[in-house]
Amino acid sequence: MNSIQEDLRLSDLLDWLRSHEKTQEGYNEKFDELMELIRGIDRINIREFVDNKLADNMESFIKWDNEFFQGLNSSEQIEFFIDSGLNWPGVWTRNMFRLTPAFVKQGVKIPDNLKKLYAESRKCFIFEQFNSAIVLSRAIIEIALKNKIGLSVESKHWTAGEILDRAYEKKIIKDSAYWIGSKVITKANEILHQGRDVQHQETLNAIDHTKQFLEDLFG
C-alpha cells in the first residue's frame, strides 16, 4: 500500500469508527486495522497527508500508539522492528565490524566528554547516519581545540577552520594533525553548507581521522 492509499484508508477507518459504537459488529476488526496502519506509518520522512482532517487527528493517535509500544516487551518490539522492514539488525552488525577498535596509545588522556562524543560518532556510523557522524567529528575537533587553546566551548568568535589555523600557528598541533583536522572540517562543511551526502568509506575515514587527531592532540 503506497502512502496515498494508506492515508485514504486511515481516513476511511477513522470516519467509520467515529460513526459506530464499540459494541457494534466489526468495530474491533476495524480498530485493529487502524492500529496496524498507524504502527506502520513512516515516522522519519517528511510527506504531506492527502486529507487535512486526517492530519489534524494524526498526532494524538501517533502519541497514543507510541506510548502503547513502549509497554510491549522486548521480544514483541524486536519482532515488529524486523517485520517493519525499516532495516535489518544484521546490517548494523556488519557496520560495527567495519570499525576497528578505537585504541589509543598508553598515556593519551582524552577528556571524558570528548570520548563520549567520539563514541556517539561511531554509533552514528553503525546506524548509517553518515552525515551526522562526520558533522559530529567536526564538533569533536573544534571542542578539543578550544580546550587546548583556552577558548570557552560556548565561544562563537571563530569557525572550526579558524580555530584549527590558530592552533597550527601557535604550534599546538603538528603538520599531520593539521592535515587530518582540515580534511574532517572540510568534509563536514560540505555537508552543513552544501547539503552534500556521504557514504560508508568517507565516514570511516573521518571517524578514523578524528581518533588520530585526538591521539595526537592529547598524547
The fraction of the chain above a pLDDT of 90, given in percent, is 43
Summarize the confidence of residues 49-66 as an average pLDDT. Answer: 74
pLDDT value at position 86? Answer: 59
Do 43 and 133 reside in the same domain of the chain?
Answer: no
Q: Which of 55-64, 94-103, 160-169 shows the lowest per-residue confidence on average (mean pLDDT)? A: 55-64
Gap between the Cα atoms of 94 and 96, Å rounded: 5
All 3 cell numbers of residue 129? 547516519
Q: Which of 84, 114, 143 is the last residue of a domain?
A: 84
Q: Structural domain tally of the chain?
A: 2
Do 107 and 210 reside in the same domain of the chain?
Answer: yes
Provide the 8-state DSSP code for 101: P
Q: What is the CATH classification number for the domain harbouring 190?
A: 1.20.120
> Which one, of 101, 95, 93, lies nearest residue 200 by Cα?
95
Summarize the confidence of residues 198-213 as an average pLDDT. Answer: 95
* Mean model confidence pLDDT for the chain: 86
Do 60 and 28 reside in the same domain of the chain?
Answer: yes
pLDDT value at position 88? Answer: 65
All 3 cell numbers of residue 60? 494524538
> Which one, of 67, 84, 1, lies nearest residue 12 by Cα?
1
Give the three-class secondary structure for 110: coil
Q: Which pLDDT tens digit goes with each residue over 31-40?
A: 888 888 887 7
Q: What own/partner pairs with CB < 8 Å and gap ≥ 24 does 73-78 have?
A: none
Do 70 and 120 reside in the same domain of the chain?
Answer: no
Summarize the confidence of residues 180-197 as an average pLDDT. Answer: 95
Do 189 and 175 reside in the same domain of the chain?
Answer: yes
Record the pTM. Answer: 0.74
Do 119 and 199 reside in the same domain of the chain?
Answer: yes
Q: Cα–Cα–Cα angle for 125, 187, 139, nearest 5°?
A: 70
pLDDT value at position 66? Answer: 84
pLDDT value at position 211? Answer: 95
pLDDT value at position 42? Answer: 75
pLDDT value at position 7? Answer: 77
Summarize the confidence of residues 136-152 as an average pLDDT. Answer: 90
pLDDT at 193 over 80: yes
Do 70 and 96 reside in the same domain of the chain?
Answer: no
For 164, residues 6+ apart whose C-beta sits below 8 A from its C-beta are 141, 145, 173, 178, 181, 182, 185
Q: Residue 177 is part of which domain span?
A: 89-218
Q: Which pLDDT tens digit goes with each residue over 86-99?
A: 566 778 888 888 99
Do 77 and 94 reside in the same domain of the chain?
Answer: no
Do 161 and 192 reside in the same domain of the chain?
Answer: yes
Q: Which of 39, 68, 84 is the last residue of a domain?
A: 84
Do 49 and 125 reside in the same domain of the chain?
Answer: no
Do 93 and 25 reside in the same domain of the chain?
Answer: no
Do 54 and 132 reside in the same domain of the chain?
Answer: no
Expressed in percent and rounded to 5, the helix, strand and coil fractions of the chain are: 70, 0, 30
Cell 578514523, residue located: 208
Q: Which of 34, 63, 84 is the last residue of a domain?
A: 84
